[in-house]
Structure 1
Amino acid sequence: MTDSPFEFTDKRRIDPETGQPRDAAAPSGDGEPEVVVPDDASSLTDGSVPDAPAADAPASGAGADDELAAAQALAAERLDDLQRERASFTNYRNRALRDQEAARTRGIEDVLATLLPVLDDIDRARQAGELEGPFAAISDKLDAALGKFEIVRFGAVGEEFDPTVHDALMHEDSAEATTTTVKFVIEPGYRIGEKIVRAARVAVVGPQQ
């Protein structure tokens, strides 16, 4: 049994070639099923797709403004967080530097306190004129080494007495004195930078009271 070919019957009311209306087609008499082609079927023969329904309208302007405001608020919040973190780090770094410098100063101060008896002996030998030859050279090198750590010796005869840097162990009145000055340095003072490690121990002379 052979299958009969499948045929289409064009029942469009408008002739696609002439554009004129055509008469209603008579039904076929062979009893075979007929396929009705809609009037706009010609638009599908070129492979095109029927137009899709229109998409929804875009979001209203008010909605877009709200999204922009929310994004700006979030960006401002993140910027504020970043600025606080930066300020906190800056404070931490400055505090760490201060602590480091304070620890360094304390270390130098401890070393200086240990060397003070030796330095006093060297100074007494210098005042007595006994610091000569190689010992004088060694003393100069020691002073240079102390200078690298900002250790400064102070106190000299003739300086005006300053209770913040001088420790007066002896006092002498003089009718010729108009101010109190250092007459004799018993032990020189030492400071590290601006910090007084030991005041200069001196004998002073001042006006009669």
Structure 2
Amino acid sequence: MTADNDRPEEGYEKPVVHDRRRIDPETGKVREPASQEAPSSADGGAPAPGEAPLGDPATAEAAPASSEASDELARATAEVLDLQDQLARRKAELYNVQQEYNNYVRRSKADAAAQRQAGAQDVAEALLGVLDEIELARQHGDLTGPFAAIAEKLEGTLAQRFEVVRYGAVGEEFDPAVHEALMHSTDPEATATTVTQVLQPGYRAGERVLRAARVAVSSPE
């Protein structure tokens, strides 16, 4: 009976007693604290090293947030590149417009100067008959008194302001670009075709010949 009473009943677990004394009763030394094993993730405790915690909202949202940030950065970069390209094109267009304007201004100034010169030359051509009469009067000694002063002032104004000058003299070598031969003769002693008589003087304004000098020439036989 006694032996049966001391037998533990089936399913009975023997209690485990933990010795938590700091001093070892046998050696009398201080015991080192026992390392506590971290509960595994299977027991609902902290996750094992390298194992991401289950059900962590921050971890679940990290990947989508990073992807959205990368897409936003790519869109911003593309937009910046597009704006830079548009700015470069606008600068090129502005440069071309400025060059066209500068060329237009230069052409306008050149055309204006050419038109003024052409207008002055037209006036000078209209006065060639008057200048011819003045020269004939001078050759015959009739250019005297107040008329001589007016004639000289007219010729001086045309020469200074419009570069109108009279040319053609006996002895000049004949040049078909500035002379018009109305009479021709030969001379056995001549070495070149020269002007022997000025029938009507020529006039030029700058480099432009307003009227060729009409002359009589003599050339070698």
The Cα of 1:134 is off from its aligned counterpart by 3.4
Equivalent of 2:101 in 89, 111, 134: 89
Whether 1:69 and 2:84 are equivalent positions in the alignment is: no
The Cα of 1:67 is off from its aligned counterpart by 3.3
Whether 1:188 and 2:167 are equivalent positions in the alignment is: no
- Which is higher, the Rg of structure 1 or of structure 2? 2
Q: TM-score, normalised by structure 2?
A: 0.61
Deviations for 1:146-176, whole angstroms, at most 9, x for unmatched residues? 0212222222222211111111111121111
Whether 1:162 and 2:192 are equivalent positions in the alignment is: no
Q: Percent identity?
A: 50
Aligned to 1:99: 111
The Cα of 1:144 is off from its aligned counterpart by 1.1
Aligned to 2:188: 175
Please report the RMSD computed on the Cα atoms of aligned residues, expressed in angstroms.
Answer: 2.5
Deviations for 1:43-75, whole angstroms, at most 9, x for unmatched residues? xxxxxxxxxxx9x67666644543332222112
The Cα of 1:105 is off from its aligned counterpart by 2.8
Aligned to 1:12: none
Runs of 4+ in 1 over 6 A off after TM superposition: none
Gaps of 5+ in 1: 1-53
User: Which runs of structure 2 are paired with 1:20-169 in the superposition (5 Å)?
Assistant: 62-147=74-159, 148-169=161-182
Gaps of 5+ in 2: 1-61
Aligned mates of 1:110, 1:77 — CA distance in 2: 48
